[in-house]
Amino acid sequence: MTVKLHHDRSGAGDPVLILHGLLGSARNWRSMARSMAGDYDVLTVDLRNHGASPHTDSMRYEDMATDVAALIADEVSQPVTLVGHSMGGKVAMTLALHQPALVQRLVVVDIAPIAYPDRFGHLVAALRALPLATLARRAQADALLADSVPDATLRSFLLHNLVDDGAGGWRWQCNLETIASSLPEIVGAPGADPAARYDGPCLVIRGGRSDSVPPEAFETIGHWF
């Protein structure tokens, strides 16, 4: 089932859609959107089960790409420059391969269309283990998470998903249950017809200290893009 994605929008000009990574949200790209808004119509999107978008029981890349296609049809009505980071990059690649007419240009940030080892399972497990019912302050969650996630910057990123439940307590804004059960699909290679190809302009950005786009992935990228 297609879901209506929450998004923020700013600027004017040719449309640019930005898709975040796993356990992220549109807010991760706010500063980038502000810097681009003088030249482009920028939409930063919450993918399903993340941010303020609806929760579902699926994290299949085909389903997430269909959500983005519906957003383009409803809000933009023309081909877009599609930017995707990490999991969002796999969503962007899936959409470009399945519905290339919607994607004028493709920018893939620090990900390849390949399967990866599960580097997220311990993070999701640590978040699910937090005793939300007994938390009085966000700082308590940070302290409880410190042993499992020693990196303070990463903890801050993860805890952006912890929000006020409106009744004096806390809740997870992202759908941790579906994310946990879907991790094999999320870290897996996005499915596509081997004969599919996206012939539009495609830029793949690799972090200088990142191993997320290994040299052995170049051939796979070149096969489809």
Helix (H) or strand (E) holding 65: helix 61-75
Asked whether residue 1 is assigned to any structural domain, the reply reads: no
Q: Residues 18-66: pLDDT tens digits? A: 999 999 999 999 999 999 999 999 999 999 999 999 999 999 999 999 9
Asked whether residue 66 is assigned to any structural domain, the reply reads: yes
Q: Are residues 135 and 110 in the same domain?
A: no
Asked whether residue 178 is assigned to any structural domain, the reply reads: yes
The Cα 148–Cα 124 span in angstroms is 11
Structure tokens at 160: 């952006």
Q: Are residues 24 and 100 in the same domain?
A: yes
Q: Are residues 27 and 102 in the same domain?
A: yes
pTM given for the model: 0.96
Q: Are residues 19 and 94 in the same domain?
A: yes
Task: Write phi, then psi, for 82 (nearest 5 degrees).
Answer: -110, 120
Q: Does the pLDDT value for residue 1 go beyond 90?
A: no
The amino acid sitting at 37 is: A
Q: Are residues 133 and 193 in the same domain?
A: no
Asked whether residue 2 is assigned to any structural domain, the reply reads: no
pLDDT at 191: 82
Q: Does the pLDDT value for residue 151 go beyond 90?
A: yes
Structural domain boundaries enclosing 130:
121-182
Q: Are residues 106 and 213 in the same domain?
A: yes
Asked whether residue 211 is assigned to any structural domain, the reply reads: yes
Structure tokens at 7: 């998004």
Asked whether residue 56 is assigned to any structural domain, the reply reads: yes
Number of compact structural domains in the chain: 2
Q: Are residues 209 and 109 in the same domain?
A: yes
∠ CA 223-108-221, nearest 5°, is: 15
3-class DSSP state for residue 152?
Answer: helix
pLDDT at 186: 97
Q: Are residues 24 and 45 in the same domain?
A: yes
pLDDT-based confidence at residue 192 (cuts at 50, 70, 90): confident
- In this structure, what CATH number is given to the domain that contains residue 38? 3.40.50.1820
Q: Are residues 65 and 162 in the same domain?
A: no
Q: Are residues 79 and 101 in the same domain?
A: yes
Q: Are residues 130 and 161 in the same domain?
A: yes
Mean pLDDT of all residues belonging to the chain: 96
Q: Does the pLDDT value for residue 183 go beyond 80?
A: yes
Q: Does the pLDDT value for residue 194 go beyond 90?
A: no
Q: Are residues 17 and 102 in the same domain?
A: yes
